[in-house]
Structure 1
Amino acid sequence: MNSNKKIIKAPSWFVRVMTPMLARIVAREMVKKYPGLGADEIMARMRAESNPTDEAGRRMLDAVALRLPASSAPEAKPDAVISWRSPSSLALIAANLLPLYGVLVFGWPVFPLLLLFWLENVVVGTFNALRMLLADPADLALWASKLFMVPFFCFHYGMFTAIHGSFVVSLFGGKAYGRLDRGFVPVEGAMRAIADFDLGPALAMLAGSHAFSFLWNYLIRGEFRRASPSELMGQPYKRVVVLHVAILLGGAVTMALDSPLWALVFLIALKIGFDLRAHLKEHAQPVS
């Protein structure tokens, strides 16, 4: 006896909503299934295995392709991997050399350097919130989690950064700056130091470096398609903890030595090294 099977198709709006989310899951599983292969090789195998004939299937494969890392192989293509010669890396190095100019020309002591590095943390947090907000914008279901995670990150990271800044201003700013703020947010002391040491151009350069990296790596190179807000939430903390523990310890030693030139130059070089290493690691391993 023949039985007619009725195929129920999902509404088109439901398919559009679910495709990005499912594509993210499939892309993650394909990377695990084919370790060492790049996006082109993985997609070739997927097309050979599935060979979809309908429009929905082809759209799903296209969505998966957008969310695969450019290359997960150890020997990646030169244009798929960030190196120290990449535009964003060179911009980072150039921006970090401006504090050296302040030390050599304006005679900056250790406090404005540490304050500048702390202010950069605020810039890092701002762009990280933008990264979280723009992560895989085609995934409509992901926006529901962003409504919670982005404000929570802004609050938590803001508190963390404020406490960190209060230590920088109170410990290294001395009476001239450390006693200007009654709360734990060092707004007045930081603003006074920015004006006194003319930190505006250096801060603008550092902010410009992060803005360029955001545009070049995250938007133009398409990292936003593979980004996960939950993983992005923890990225700035790694930078702050590793980098600034070393910087604060180095700053304390430098201050104890009465800020000799060689110690200040070493402090800047240490910061550039940590920054560049973190930058290369972050963009060499696309967030999934």
Structure 2
Amino acid sequence: MFKRKLSRAEYALLAANLIPVAGVWFLGWNPKEMFVVYALETVIAGLFTLLKMGITTMVKKQDDWHGTGGSKKKMPGWFFMVFFIFHYGMFVAIQMGMFLAVSGMGNDTGFGLFSFFNKIPELLTTENLWVLAAFVLSYILHNLSGFILTGEYKTASLSYLMFQPYARIFVQQFTVIAGSIFISFGAGKIFILIFAGVKIFMELFVDYDSIIRKAAKGELPLSRKQ
């Protein structure tokens, strides 16, 4: 369940996750503004997933879609991509609503979930842009070394690729709930420490890859019961 060692790309992602913590604790960055970066990181992860699915689709054209009761049938790659856009988008919207509610940004700035993305340019400070750039570079490194250069894109399961970013959603929702008590009392530094700490541990040290591969093949206990 746990990884024994990290790859170079994962060390880059670790460094990117530590930048907001260092900024909030030692450089006086606003912890609420870091919410914007974490929210956009989830969107970036989804975009990279779509890119990977698109590259694999150009090679494989179609793949197995696992239904209930162990059934499966061949579906075109674009079907997986459209399904992912709507399904992942729903989870991102829920997470965004939680971010706005817990951080108080919706009340502070006078906007809600649906106008959030229109307000992004106003919320992206210089610090936010640097952190966002670090996340983008870490994702490029991770996907270049672990997907393109290894040739995984030629044989990767589209279901597996589609499941990959969901761990991020669940981890971030959990950490928002766990850390909300600190930010409600104005302890933003404690909140960002908990948020980043749990996020780093769950994303980098827990071996989600084997779990995701089983889920994509319908091999998890829950899948077998259906």
TM-score by length of 1: 0.60
How many equivalent residue pairs?
Answer: 202
Structure 1 segments of 4 or more deviating over 6 A?
283-288
After TM superposition, the structure 1 stretch with the greater mean CA deviation from structure 2, 257-266 or 204-213, is: 257-266
Amino acid at match of 1:218: F
1:235-286 deviation per Cα after TM superposition (whole angstroms, max 9, x unaligned): 2223211x112221233122023125344333322221122135x5328987
Map residues 160-239 of structure 1 onto 2, 5 A cutoff: 160-172=91-103, 173-177=105-109, 179-181=110-112, 184-195=114-125, 198-239=127-168
Q: Is the 8 A contact 1:146 1:229 kept in 2?
A: yes
Q: 1:249 aligns with which of 177, 180, 189?
A: 177
In the alignment, structure 2 segments of 5+ residues that lack a partner are 64-73, 218-226
Q: CA RMSD in A?
A: 2.9
Distance 1:249 1:204 in 2: 27
1:98-157 deviation per Cα after TM superposition (whole angstroms, max 9, x unaligned): 112321243234422333222110011011111211227433454961122212312332
Q: Per the alignment, do residues 129 and 224 of structure 1 end up closer, same or farther by CA in structure 2, a change over 3 Å counting?
A: same
Residue 199 of structure 1: SS of its match in structure 2? Answer: helix
- Considering only CA atoms, is the larger Rg found in Structure 1 or Structure 2? 1
Q: Per the alignment, do residues 226 and 82 of structure 1 end up closer, same or farther by CA in structure 2, a change over 3 Å counting?
A: farther
Distance 1:272 1:187 in 2: 26
Amino acid at match of 1:90: Y
Amino acid at match of 2:146: N
Greater strand fraction, Structure 1 or Structure 2: 2
Q: Is the 8 A contact 1:98 1:202 kept in 2?
A: yes
The residue aligned with 1:281 is 208
Distance 2:41 2:168 in 1: 11
Q: Is the 8 A contact 1:163 1:184 kept in 2?
A: no
Amino acid at match of 1:192: E
Amino acid at match of 1:272: I
The residue aligned with 2:47 is 126
Amino acid at match of 1:165: M
Identity, % of aligned positions: 25
In the alignment, structure 1 segments of 5+ residues that lack a partner are 1-80
The residue aligned with 1:87 is 8
Amino acid at match of 1:188: N
TM-score by length of 2: 0.75
Q: Is the 8 A contact 2:9 2:141 kept in 1?
A: yes
Amino acid at match of 1:146: G
Q: Per the alignment, do residues 260 and 176 of structure 1 end up closer, same or farther by CA in structure 2, a change over 3 Å counting?
A: closer
The residue aligned with 2:78 is 147
1:175-222 deviation per Cα after TM superposition (whole angstroms, max 9, x unaligned): 333x224x6352134432223x73111011111111111111011122
After TM superposition, the structure 1 stretch with the greater mean CA deviation from structure 2, 92-101 or 159-168, is: 159-168
Residue 135 of structure 1: SS of its match in structure 2? Answer: helix
Q: Is the 8 A contact 1:166 1:184 kept in 2?
A: no
Distance 1:259 1:218 in 2: 40
Q: Per the alignment, do residues 109 and 246 of structure 1 end up closer, same or farther by CA in structure 2, a change over 3 Å counting?
A: farther
